[in-house]
């Protein structure tokens, strides 16, 4: 961490250097260093112009998000530096390359002249963290580019290109070559001392504010509304606008939504780190991937790979199924062309990277093979035994199984260390979650390769140990158990779905199961009835399955789908549910949303705690990211384990105990980890992976 200072004639160049993104960290003293360097240059009689640039990959990625959990005064130090830059009596030129985001762009806007390198991107993404630009962005950006354009940038959080920034007036000059050299050239002339904060209020202010306010949607995050409030307050009194912005930023920073979104930001990066992996472990090279199975899953996996430029050889033993898969792949890629997402050249390149065969021998040279055949141990065993003989001994063999024992599959391979699980979620080309299953013998570099491949194809890879259902589906089973109990006790599907969706799930559980199809769940419940007779489910869902109502794909499930897509309440199902309650002698009762949400959430938390204790998940945040990216858990809610921490584990334990004393109390025995943490004042978020991880 340093502010590197270089003198070029009468110009002082200050290069910000603080880790990968030059974050404006107050906690480690970096912001103070910038302040001191600017102050020194401003007072240096031999210095006429100051240039501020970034070292490494970018200008600056913003204020340090990690600071926000500490003292709120950290951000005020960033504001002080920005104010000092704008007030400086010597021209300050901002030389932007790579990225200028959040506080980084706010710093740049306080400069008197901005030069950006072509290809760089500039944005105020604070809204994606449940925040508003809190270091002058709401007051300076509209003055530079107009209120409408500024609101669009701040409300979407999406960066603009340097080219767009140059045409909107956000930057003064666009250059292809070295941006600092260009800044020095400007410095040799007579750079202006134009202060953004002194520019007039834009003329489109009232109209832009009204239009954006009318489009605000209700949600947990208040950030969009507060951004509009700040822009609406724009006046000639810059200080008043900045004071309002600072106050509202502080409120948002403490909000649940921002805390959840920040947890998600860091969580997505944390899950990529495999605890305990030796520093010298390198992922293997993956140049061609084999996909075995041309069903829905295999097709989606092949698409996910091809879309990221990974060559694929698909093997499907049935020629007819293979041509169907190939046609589906071609059609999906072509649809991306029609929708303008990619050009025809890119589509052709994707198809050129695809080869197919009806014999496994075609995979002899693949670096990694993903098996996506029918979910049956006998079938999987056949495929793995064959792959063991055909593939190169250093090729990685991955199974897409969602329920079977990966270690039993690996046992069929002479070297089980090359076997790993890659559990994609359907549709595999769309869903971002990838559970990377580490078997008992999976080699560290095989695990690292699986994670690297996940990243390469744009997935959020999360490592899971081997257990029935892995992390996500194992927890989901407990969630559904409560949903079905709620149905027999008095709730109706539409009420449960509405409660969960209002709370923040992308889709309520009944609609989700209608979409996923009930047949697999039914088969699992039949198996469980034998394996775990002491953990019965409500029979109400089986009654629905017995009618052949397997969900959207059969036209009917818990709901009906007159147009094939939109769920509509079915009086027949309401009657079926009410009759079922009567049949088991249960007096239906009114169940409030709070109970619905509470029970569904606590079921996830309690099972999540077991999973941590058994070492199936490394860290609580791994569970949270699985739920955000695979199960539609609201990003602003951070994830189930994060929610448990917000509630406080003593409160979680009290509720579990109260539920354990009620109907079907056996399902609520508190996980020992929760009891332990509640007793010691601990939080899931403070767990090191060894604390909760048995391995
Ligand atoms: N604060 C703290 N850490 C940050 C950070 C930030 N603003 N931006 C990135 N990092 C960290 C990441 O956590 C990661 O750490 P790790 O290696 O320990 O996991 C490391 O920097 C590298 O980040 P990425 O892996 O994300 O690197 P990429 O090259 O893929 O992406 C990026 C770079 C586009 C800058 C991306 O990191 C990003 O989007 N960062 C956040 C940008 C942002 O939201 N800025 C606004 C911050 S809020 C603000 O400025 C408030 C102000 O208005 C007062």
**Other beta carbons within 10 Å of 378:** 7
Please tell me the distance from the alpha carbon of residue 183 to that of residue 172, in angstroms, as a whole number.
11
In a domain, 674, yes or no: yes
Do 506 and 417 share a structural domain?
A: no
Do 606 and 494 share a structural domain?
A: yes
In a domain, 273, yes or no: no
Q: What sign does the dihedral 17-22-24-28 (CA atoms) show?
A: negative
Residue whose CA is at the smallest distance from ligand 1 atom 34 = 61
CA dihedral 136, 138, 139, 144 (to 10 degrees): 110
Residue whose CA is at the smallest distance from ligand 1 atom 31 = 21
**Domain edge (last residue) among 464, 490, 505:** 464
Q: Is 103 in the pocket of ligand 1 (CB under 6 A)?
A: yes
The mean pLDDT value for 27-44 works out to 95
pLDDT at 12 over 90: yes
What secondary structure does DSSP assign to 478-522, as a single string? HHHHHHHHHHHHT--HHHHHHHHHHHT-SS-HHHHHHHH-SHHHH
- Structure confidence by residue, pLDDT tens digits, 528-578: 999 999 999 999 999 999 999 999 988 999 999 998 889 999 999 999 999
- Structure confidence by residue, pLDDT tens digits, 116-128: 999 999 999 999 9
**Domain edge (last residue) among 405, 435, 464:** 464
Do 582 and 523 share a structural domain?
A: yes
pLDDT-based confidence at 73, cuts 50/70/90?
confident
In a domain, 264, yes or no: no
Do 556 and 517 share a structural domain?
A: yes
pLDDT of residue 638: 98
Do 31 and 135 form a contact (C-beta atoms < 8 A)? no
Read off the CATH number of the domain in which 121 is found.
3.90.226.10
Do 299 and 228 share a structural domain?
A: no
pLDDT of residue 564: 87
pLDDT at 212 over 60: yes
Residue 171 Cα to chain centre, angstroms: 31
- Structure confidence by residue, pLDDT tens digits, 260-296: 999 999 999 999 999 989 999 999 999 999 999 999 9
- Structure confidence by residue, pLDDT tens digits, 448-494: 999 999 999 999 999 999 999 999 999 999 999 999 999 999 999 99
Do 305 and 239 share a structural domain?
A: no
pLDDT of residue 611: 97
pLDDT at 437 over 50: yes
527 vs 433: which has the higher pLDDT: 433
In a domain, 457, yes or no: yes
Do 447 and 463 form a contact (C-beta atoms < 8 A)? yes
Range of the domain at 236: 2-254
Share of the chain above pLDDT 90, in %: 93
pLDDT of residue 56: 96
pLDDT at 191 over 80: yes
Read off the CATH number of the domain in which 616 is found.
1.10.1040.50
Tell how far the Cα of 127 is from the centroid of ligand 1, in angstroms: 14
Q: Is 130 in the pocket of ligand 1 (CB under 6 A)?
A: no
ipTM of the complex: 0.99
Q: How far is CA 425 from CA 38, 432, 437, 533, 630, in A?
A: 51, 8, 13, 29, 7
Please tell me the distance from the alpha carbon of residue 148 to that of residue 208, in angstroms, as a whole number.
5
In a domain, 401, yes or no: yes
The mean pLDDT value for 366-390 works out to 95
Tell how far the Cα of 66 is from the centroid of ligand 1, in angstroms: 10
**Domain edge (last residue) among 438, 464, 490:** 464
In a domain, 267, yes or no: no
Read off the CATH number of the domain in which 434 is found.
3.40.50.720
pTM of the model: 0.95
Diameter of the chain measured on Cα atoms? 91
Do 291 and 368 form a contact (C-beta atoms < 8 A)? no
Nearest to 292, CA basis, from 367, 380, 218: 380
Do 356 and 303 share a structural domain?
A: yes
Tell how far the Cα of 188 is from the centroid of ligand 1, in angstroms: 34
Q: Is 65 in the pocket of ligand 1 (CB under 6 A)?
A: yes
Do 332 and 304 form a contact (C-beta atoms < 8 A)? no
**DSSP code for 448:** H
Q: Is 244 left (phi over 0), alpha (psi -120 to 50) or beta?
A: alpha
**Other beta carbons within 10 Å of 442:** 25
The mean pLDDT value for 245-257 works out to 96
Q: Which residues contact 265 (CB under 8 A, 6 or more apart)?
A: 65, 128, 129
Do 338 and 189 share a structural domain?
A: no
Do 504 and 383 share a structural domain?
A: no
Do 497 and 456 share a structural domain?
A: no
Catalytic residue status for 501: no
- Structure confidence by residue, pLDDT tens digits, 213-237: 999 998 999 999 999 999 999 999 9
In a domain, 280, yes or no: no
- Structure confidence by residue, pLDDT tens digits, 620-654: 999 999 999 999 999 999 999 999 999 999 999 99
pLDDT of residue 309: 97
**Number of structural domains found in the chain:** 3
Residue whose CA is at the smallest distance from ligand 1 atom 44 = 125
Catalytic residue status for 245: no
Mean pLDDT of all residues in the chain? 96
pLDDT of residue 277: 92
Residue whose CA is at the smallest distance from ligand 1 atom 22 = 20
């Amino acid at each position: 961490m340093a502010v590197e200072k270089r003198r070029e004639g009468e110009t002082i160049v200050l290069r910000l250097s603080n880790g990968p993104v030059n974050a404006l960290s107050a906690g480690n003293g970096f912001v103070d260093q910038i302040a001191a360097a600017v102050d020194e240059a401003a007072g240096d009689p031999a210095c006429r112009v100051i240039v501020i640039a970034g070292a490494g990959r970018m200008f600056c990625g913003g204020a340090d998000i990690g600071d926000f959990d500490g003292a709120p005064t950290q951000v005020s130090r960033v504001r002080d530096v920005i104010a000092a830059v704008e007030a400086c009596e010597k021209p300050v030129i901002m030389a932007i390359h790579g990225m200028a985001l959040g506080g980084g762009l706010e710093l740049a806007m306080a400069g008197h002249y901005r030069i950006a390198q072509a290809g760089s991107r500039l944005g105020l993404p604070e809204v994606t963290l449940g925040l508003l630009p809190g270091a002058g962005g709401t007051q300076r950006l509209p003055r530079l580019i107009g209120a409408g354009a500024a609101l669009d940038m701040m409300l979407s959080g999406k960066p603009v290109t340097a080219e767009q920034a140059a045409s909107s007036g956000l930057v003064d000059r666009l250059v292809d070559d070295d941006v600092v050299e260009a800044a020095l050239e400007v410095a040799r002339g007579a750079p202006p001392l134009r202060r953004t904060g002194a520019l007039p209020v834009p003329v489109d202010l009232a109209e832009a504010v009204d239009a954006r306010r009318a489009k605000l949607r209700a949600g947990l995050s208040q950030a969009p509304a507060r951004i509009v409030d700040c822009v609406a307050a724009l006046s000639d009194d810059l200080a008043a606008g900045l004071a309002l912005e600072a106050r509202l930023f502080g409120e948002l920073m403490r909000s649940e939504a921002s805390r959840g979104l920040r947890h998600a930001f860091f969580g997505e990066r944390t899950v990529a780190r495999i605890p305990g992996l030796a520093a010298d472990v390198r992922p293997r090279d993956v140049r061609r991937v084999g996909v075995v199975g041309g069903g829905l899953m295999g097709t989606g996996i092949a698409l996910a790979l091809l879309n990221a430029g990974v060559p694929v050889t698909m093997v499907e033993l049935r020629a007819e199924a293979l041509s169907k898969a190939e046609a589906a792949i071609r059609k999906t890629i072509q649809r991306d062309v029609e929708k303008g997402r990619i050009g025809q050249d890119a589509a052709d390149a994707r198809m050129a990277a695809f080869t197919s065969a009806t014999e496994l021998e075609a995979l002899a040279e693949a670096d990694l093979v993903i098996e996506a055949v029918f979910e049956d141990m006998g079938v999987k065993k056949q495929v793995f035994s064959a792959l063991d003989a055909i593939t190169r001994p250093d090729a990685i063999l991955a199974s897409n199984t969602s329920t079977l024992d990966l270690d039993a599959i690996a046992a069929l391979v002479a070297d089980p260390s090359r076997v790993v699980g890659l559990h994609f979620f359907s549709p595999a080309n769309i869903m971002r979650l990838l559970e990377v299953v580490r078997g008992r013998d999976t080699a560290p570099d095989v695990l690292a390769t699986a994670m690297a491949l996940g990243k390469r194809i744009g997935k959020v890879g999360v490592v899971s140990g081997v257990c029935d259902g892995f992390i996500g589906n194992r927890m989901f089973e407990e969630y559904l158990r409560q949903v079905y109990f709620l149905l027999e006790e008095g709730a109706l599907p539409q009420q449960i779905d509405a409660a969960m969706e209002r709370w923040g799930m992308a889709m309520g559980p009944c609609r989700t199961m209608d979409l996923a199809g009930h047949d697999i769940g039914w088969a699992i419940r039949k198996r469980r009835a034998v394996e775990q007779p002491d953990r019965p489910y409500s029979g109400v869902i089986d009654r629905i399955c017995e009618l052949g109502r397997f969900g959207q794909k059969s036209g009917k499930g818990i709901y009906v789908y007159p147009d094939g897509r939109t769920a509509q309440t079915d009086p027949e199902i309401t009657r079926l549910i009410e009759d079922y309650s009567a049949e088991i002698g249960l007096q239906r009762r009114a169940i409030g949303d709070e109970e619905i949400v509470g029970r569904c959430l606590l079921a996830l938390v309690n099972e999540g705690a077991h999973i941590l204790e058994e070492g199936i998940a490394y860290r609580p945040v791994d569970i949270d990211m699985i739920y955000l990216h695979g199960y539609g858990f609201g990003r602003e809610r951070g994830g189930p384990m994060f929610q448990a921490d917000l509630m406080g584990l003593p409160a979680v334990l009290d509720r579990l105990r109260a539920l354990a004393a009620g109907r079907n109390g056996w399902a609520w025995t508190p996980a020992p980890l929760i009891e332990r943490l509640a007793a010691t004042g601990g939080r899931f978020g403070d767990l090191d992976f060894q604390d909760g991880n048995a391995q």
